[in-house]
A and B are shown apart, each in its own frame.
Chain A
Amino acid sequence: MLCLENITKRFADGQRSLTVLDHLSLQVEKGEFIAITGESGAGKTTLLNILGTLLTADEGEYVWNVKDNAQPSTLSPQLRNQEIGFVYQDHRLLPQFTVWQNILLPTLATKSASTEEEERRALELLEFVGIASLKDSPVTHLSGGEQTRVAICRALINQPSLLLADEPTGQLDAANAQMIATLFQQVNAQLHTTIIMATHSAEMAKVAQKTYVLKDGKLI
């Protein structure tokens, strides 16, 4: 589905140049659930941002066989929005909106209003993650676990082929983390969504089909 070859990413740090990813390669097949672990600062988020086309690599090739054979470098934000879903550690939910509105937010990127089909899907997702009763609640009233579930719903509302999750359980307790891990498994299994998850939790990594360790800019 997607392939990273010899990806290098450097960041300027004053007069020094810091190489975060160093000729990194990765092959991901459709429907896979991959976990990437590594120490803090290893470059997991950078890798996810490159995968999510939010960052471009300094060197190397990123090949992605998605609709119309579009290349990541030319991927428009709208198409990215359609094809990739993001789940962040801090959820990045908009506090001024309700659960329902946060989930439907990505649908407004390409048109002025959500469709009935999208709203039906939002409801299904809410039921799927088990928080349908919180539909009209302000997100500020939710617990951390509930917020992560809303973030997952939001990431899935456009039925993306790829779901990128950056430390999705980083702020959760063990029970909630386990619940979210199971949820990711269900998403992967039932919705056939390819998932790449960055985590430094070994427990969380266990739910993935493959686990890579990011060290010295390379995946081991």
Chain B
Amino acid sequence: MSTVNCQLSTKQSRRYYRRYYRLVTAAVILMMAVLTGSLLLGDSVRGTLVQRVSERLGRTETVITSGTGFMNETLLQHPLMKNARGWLLMDGYVSVGDKLLPVYVWGTDADTLQAGEVMVNEPLRAQLGNQEDLVLHLPSHNLVPSGSLFVTKSYATQMRLHVVGVKSVEEGGNLLLRNEQTLPLNVFVNRWHLAEKMELDGKINMVFSDDVIEEEQLAACWTPEQSGIHLTDTTLTCDGVFIPQNIVEKLSALNSQPSTVNCQLSIVNCQLSILYLSYFVNDLIHDADTIPYSFVTAVNEWRGEPLGGQDIILSDYAARRLHVQEGDSVSMSYFITRQLKNLDTKAQMLRVKKIVPLAAFMQDSLLMADFPGLTRVEKCTDWDSDLPIDMNRVHKEDEDFWHTYRQTPKAVVAYEAVKTDWSNAFGSATAMRFTERPKVSLLPHDADVQLYHPRAQGLKGATGGVDFAGLFLSLGFFIILSSVLLMKNPLVEMFTQRQGEIRLYQQLGFKDKDIRKGLFKEAFSVILLASPLGVLAGFAYSTLTLWLLGNVWSGATHTEGFVLHIQPLTLIIGVLIGLLICALTLWWVIRSQLSALNSQPSALNPQPSALSSQLSTLNPIMLLLTLSLIVVNFIYLHNMVLFIVCGLLWILTWGLFLRHELQRPSSAMSKAFNRIQLIHQSVRASLKQHLLAYWTLSLGVFTVFAVGLNRPDFTQALQATGGYQFYVDSRVPIQYDLNNPSVRHKLSLQSLPDSTRFLGFLRHTQDEASCLNLNQVSTPTVLGVNLKEMETFGLTPDSQLSTLNCQLYLDEEALTWSLMKSVGDTLFYQSERGDSVPVVIAGTYPTGIFHGNAIMSSEDFRRLWPKEGGWEVLLMKSSRPKEAAEILSIAMNEYGLNVQTVEERIKMFFEVTETYLIIFLTLGGLGLLLGVFSLMIIVRKNLTAQLPTIRQYRATGFSEPLIRQLLLHENLLVPFYAICVGAIGSIISISANPVGAGLTTLLLALVVLMVICLLLYYGVKYMVNQTINNITSIY
């Protein structure tokens, strides 16, 4: 045949068998749509996440942060910062109705905002509704860290602001530094106004630069002054009162490390450095004389004279009031804290080494530290302090001293004697003095100033995040499988009908290979023509799914606004994979058809094989075993996996039973020949097809419903909560132990039931590693706690691992899916000192309320982030939980507490799984419907093959209703049996938590099942009627 003729005959055949090729086209379109659509989805979600990085960061390439401290805005005046913006960024919250919305507060120097005005981003605007004014709650930030002892009573402040506009995405409204796809709730306020409110005039804590700035460049433009560190030729003081520990150590180290040349040189300059540490002591006592509430400063030498361990130098004023002389003993008592602000009082007996004029202390300004709330007041009674100061003990004499001398210390003590008690996470000195200006350079990270490049991190997280292509290919697996069946069945039917044609080719001398090739060419040309339509359908599929992900299924993504991103390479890969699947299916169908044609016709009355006979004897045993296993698991074990195994065993058992029953000769069923035998025998005649239909349908129904309805037992997750009933998130770190009765009294929590207990967690906020985040996570947020407390949460420390490194624990899901790591791997966290610290994953705990958080011992936590000292996460349990939660929320409303029950929190995470399972159920149900549709093609083929039988039924006197009934039974018996077995199997598999999926999902499943059954019934009925009507027309 010439090429032209070949093409012509292919075209003619395509046209002649268009009835079949239409179905093939539909199947190809469907398969291509799901394949390319899923791949497009992957690209689009990834592309959207990448786009989010740009939206989050704008043009920002470098971020400079100042840790818990602040920087002077003068840093922005450096030429290197010409494309930089300074921010005062704080965590805050706003109340909307009964809800507390956590917000990021961005103090901006944009001209458009005046004092008292606020702009919000679009997501927050949507939450606010028509609200035009808002009250912004903020943790009190000032130069002295709130975690230190000498701060004011107020831990939070408020700002009443008027909303003047919405900052769009393009204007940087969705500014966010964390790698999350969730849109942040941002408020933008006038930076100077915010700074003024916080007493942080001229300060910023964040710089965004459009340029890529490296560490060395920052070091070149940064000066200690810009971090509030005042370094003169001979002195060092700090705006934050406490000199950062790095700097103290760096400068002190020069005294104690004479091993290197540099240090030896430095020793010359620094060997006489003096450390000052001012403190507010409770009492100076000698016999019956007491001076209450005095400033005392610790130094390591006084005017060239070292101070020994128990030495105290008293001012003449103090000596006079205490009636002491040199060599006498004086008791000094003061508050100390070990963790949080649990105050203890400690006293030391000191020996009066010297008595000096008060003027001598006044001459050295470094002896006087400037504690806010304590030093800038006119009278002692005006002291605004978090400390429990008893004003009844303050007398006129004390007020007179304060009026004249303010915070001038009344005494000086040896630094070494009090260093441990008076130091805190923010420093161990309030001033330093040198004989000469130190030659050693201070670097930005010494003052906690660090820089990073968020875009690279963001892009890495976005591109390495959840693989939606793979996810949706898995979720749409049943549709792809059904498409293959939908393509295969009409092809089989067509080639069966063309057996005569194929035989003719064989008789004409065509080789089988050539016949296969010709038929393949003809059918594949249809597939090729259908492919572009499939790609178009793929666009529609991905667009629709993206919309659903952002709206109906947003429970899985926690965001909206997904945008279609098209990668040509991905499209090509999708099309090629689709074509490959089609080609393989087509080749397999053609081969099997030709093989069937060349082989002997199969026996219409199949005899049971030996294996089948053996299996059939096992059938009652298997049924008994399955039922026993179900009962035992239901009553005692409640094991979810075992229930799934039971479901599968159920299907296997009834599948083998069906096989046995169909293989049994119908004559063995009963003596008299009856209509049941008639149906049985007809089904038996196409045993292979019916068994295939059974396995496909029963396993399909089982898989879709068992997976779609199975939920991990909620109560199991609740068991791993240590008996705590509430999970509390605080926007303001709580510096007190709420289990302490005096603290409860202080915070108006005394009405809490006595049985109320709290477990507090320190928090170092990093990436959200729960299932709520689609980005890849490298360092999850860390919670610090006493690990012994965590044993009730299922966390067991691994004693095998070396304890040299810091260790953390992660929940199983976050470890596997968000981090893609395993136990023993190492994560790298940046400590407050700027070091990258390896932290070993030492174990896991069950996924539950701490999902997405790493748990670390509080000791390790303090080694890494000593300044992050307050509780930011609390667990609470009480005998009267509702009452306790209400009291806590009201009493601590300034802290912006988000109090949620542990059930609510776990449900929040389960919602993600829930949504994915609903998607699976929906797509799986759709796949099943397609499967049923393709099954009906087989039914049609069977009915066509049964035409002689139907004619004979008619000729024999069978009435039409009876023939319809027989045909319906023959074609529906096995499919309905399979659906029933599969559905019961799936019910068995969800027995661990039968109502876990919720009523709506169960109803959805029921509707899907009903639709499948109705479609099957009416589809088969329609085809039976069509077949019978066609026969009528023959007569």
Contacts and interface: CB of A to CB of B under 8 A. Distances in A.
Q: Are A and B part of the same complex?
A: yes
A189 interface: no
A10 B603 CA distance: 42
Interface stretch (B300-308, B670-678, B859-867): B670-678
B958 A100 contact: no
Given A54-B1035, A108-B674, A115-B672, A96 B605 contact: yes
A108 B678 contact: yes
Of A76, A106, A109, A110, most buried by chain B (CB within 10 Å of CB) is A109
B673 A114 contact: yes
B954 A77 contact: yes
A217 B93 CA distance: 101
Nearest to A83: B957
A143 interface: no
B956 A96 contact: no
Nearest to A98: B667
Interface in A134-188: 136, 138, 140, 154
B674 A114 contact: yes
A96 to B, nearest CB: 3
A96 B684 contact: yes
Contact of B957 (A100, A106, A119): A106
A162 B957 CA distance: 14
B955 A109 contact: no
A199 interface: no
B877 to A, nearest CB: 69
A21 B1035 CA distance: 16
A54 B957 CA distance: 10
Contact of B956 (A55, A109, A113, A115): A109
A113 B678 CA distance: 10
B956 A81 contact: yes
Q: Name the prevailing secondary structure of the B interface residues.
A: helix
Nearest to B956: A106
B786 interface: no
Interface stretch (B78-86, B327-335, B501-509, B945-953): B945-953
Given A96-B604, A113-B673, A113-B674, A105 B952 contact: yes
Interface string B406-443: 00000000000000000000000000000000000000
Contacts of A55: 1035
Contacts of A95: 604, 685
Interface in A87-120: 92-98, 100-101, 104-110, 112-116, 119
Nearest to A108: B675
B612 interface: no
B962 to A, nearest CB: 7
Contacts, number: 86
A116 B674 CA distance: 12
B959 interface: yes
A46 B646 CA distance: 61
B955 A110 contact: no
Given A81-B956, A109-B956, A100 B667 contact: yes
Interface string A8-47: 0000000000000000000000000000000000000000
Nearest to B674: A113
B666 interface: yes
B681 interface: yes
B574 to A, nearest CB: 44
A211 interface: no
B675 A113 contact: yes
A82 B957 contact: yes
B682 interface: yes
Nearest to A113: B674
A97 B682 CA distance: 8
A209 interface: no
A109 to B, nearest CB: 4
A138 B605 CA distance: 7
A42 to B, nearest CB: 19
A97 B605 CA distance: 8
A77 B959 contact: yes
A62 interface: no
Contact of B955 (A54, A97, A112, A119): A54
Given A78-B957, A105-B956, A119 B673 contact: yes
Interface string B583-612: 000000000000000000001110000000
A55 B1034 CA distance: 11
A60 to B, nearest CB: 19
30 contacts: A49-B1035, A77-B958, A80-B957, A81-B956, A92-B948, A92-B955, A94-B948, A94-B949, A95-B604, A95-B685, A96-B682, A101-B667, A101-B673, A105-B678, A106-B957, A108-B675, A109-B957, A109-B959, A109-B962, A113-B670, A113-B674, A113-B675, A114-B673, A115-B672, A116-B672, A119-B673, A136-B667, A138-B603, A138-B604, A154-B956
Given A98-B605, A101-B678, 8 more contacts: A49-B1035, A92-B948, A93-B952, A101-B667, A101-B681, A106-B956, A113-B672, A113-B673
Interface of A: 49, 54-55, 76-78, 80-82, 86, 92-98, 100-101, 104-110, 112-116, 119, 136, 138, 140, 154
